[in-house]
Amino acid sequence: MIRQFCRFVGIGRFKAAGKVWAGALMAATISVAVAEVPTVAAADKADTLKVRLGGTQSQTRLVIDLDTSVRGELLSRDTDYSQAVLGLSGGGIPKGQSGEGRGLIRSWKLESMAGITRLKIEFNGEARISRRFLLPPGDGVGHYRYVIDVVPKNGVTPQVVQAAVAPTPKPRAAAVPVVDKRNAKKIIVIDAGHGGKDPGARGSFSWEKDVNLAAAKTLKKKLEATGRYRVIMTRETDAYVDKVARVRIARNANADLFISLHSDASASPGTRGASVYTLSDSGTERAARNAMNAGDWSLPKASDDKMVNRILVDLTQRATKNRSATFAELMLGKLEGTTPLVKSSHRQAGFVVLLAADVPAILFEMGFMSNVEDEKLLNDSGYQSRMMGQVTKAIDQYFANDVAYASFALIP
């Protein structure tokens, strides 16, 4: 059921009450049992892949999967609460598809008239379209999705409901302000691993906590120099910050990306090279439990239905894991050739700092304190600058490719 729901909704990203939610403009109150509705009398060759519906009498969503992009225009009167007719152009949607509805939708039909494809939706009772938008391929989905949300005539729009059910933000860690997302700058949280009473790995002449902090400051300087990022540090001095508090800082800052910097250690002094960790499957389950429970990491509840809330958590996690993995691969690609890498350099683990269900996160092991060559490089300011320069390039590409947000075009 969870997989069906994920395929049904698709993945996007938006902010609500200071939290990151997956699902392109996901309605907070959909208590859905998702169904794939078979088409009737479909043409032999079609760009349309399938039509799916889900929802209840409080809200119903219709999704058309497409091989190509389309644009929609409302052809019927917006005061007609018995039906809605949309004109779809730009995609080769064939005529002759129809099917039974669900929830607020009695039936739907795709037909060709006057050179355009018309989508006719018959409502159950008085209803209206609250929003419609096109999702391009992204987050592992290889096709376009045209999404239509229907609510009762006098129903509250999903955006308003979302705001109404979102809980009051929890107290934030000190010195972390609420971020206004109208600011175009992306928010990067840099976590210098260890610190204070927790020194981390010991090299022949240095401690990991000091190496991590120096690298974090270098990365912060480079990111801020671009003018494109707002950078928040989990620590800026030799102080100990609880691991859970590090995650809390990222979530309360509404971070677009979380980067935890570490330096590894091994019983074998010959082992050297950098690696990047993203959340493992076992860690994912732990993160899901955190997101479901009240506390620092919980997500706003969209429904009294525990299954629906779990589906929403899984949906959020899938998007977050995809984005984390995408950034990890970009980063390793930039580092290759300038930074020694271990074999199988993209790894997975259940580290606490990776457990936020709604913040893309990686843990970067920059090298081995237990290796003489690596330790020298990690303490070399010139090497640190070059390495963090490559990380900055990876961050630039990550956002330039628009993979931090599964972009969608709102249809007027």
User: What is the model's pLDDT at position 132?
Assistant: 83
User: What is the model's pLDDT at position 295?
Assistant: 61
Q: What CATH number has the domain bearing residue 117?
A: 2.60.40.3500
Query: What pTM value is reported for the model?
Result: 0.56
Q: What CATH number has the domain bearing residue 342?
A: 3.40.630.40
Tokens at 25, concatenated: 């403009």
Distance, CA of 385 to CA of 396 (rounded, Å)? 16
For residues 208 and 351, membership in a common domain is answered with yes
For each of the chain's 412 residues, which pLDDT tens digit applies?
Answer: 444 444 344 433 333 333 334 333 333 333 333 444 444 433 333 445 688 888 888 888 898 888 877 778 888 887 889 999 988 876 656 557 888 898 999 999 988 766 678 899 999 999 999 888 777 676 567 777 888 889 998 865 443 333 223 333 333 343 444 444 444 699 999 999 999 999 999 999 999 999 999 999 999 999 999 999 999 999 999 999 988 888 889 888 889 999 999 999 999 999 999 999 998 876 666 655 665 565 655 555 544 555 655 566 566 667 788 889 889 999 999 999 889 999 989 998 888 888 887 889 999 999 999 999 999 999 999 999 999 999 999 999 898 875 333 332 222 2
Structural domain for 76, as ranges: 29-164
User: What is the model's pLDDT at position 243?
Assistant: 87
Contact indicator for 370, 201 with CB cutoff of 8 Å: yes
Phi-psi region for residue 133, left (φ > 0), alpha (ψ -120 to 50) or beta? beta
Q: Is residue 218 part of a domain?
A: yes
Q: Is residue 169 part of a domain?
A: no
User: What is the model's pLDDT at position 270?
Assistant: 96
For residues 200 and 343, membership in a common domain is answered with yes
* Contacts of residue 168, Cβ cutoff 8 Å, sequence gap at least 6: 17
User: What is the model's pLDDT at position 319?
Assistant: 77
CA distances from 288 to 2, 29, 197, 251, 255 (A): 13, 20, 30, 15, 19
How many structural domains are present in the chain?
Answer: 2
For residues 144 and 191, membership in a common domain is answered with no
Q: Is residue 17 part of a domain?
A: no
Q: Is residue 56 part of a domain?
A: yes
User: What is the model's pLDDT at position 289?
Assistant: 62
Contact indicator for 192, 233 with CB cutoff of 8 Å: yes
Q: Is residue 306 part of a domain?
A: yes
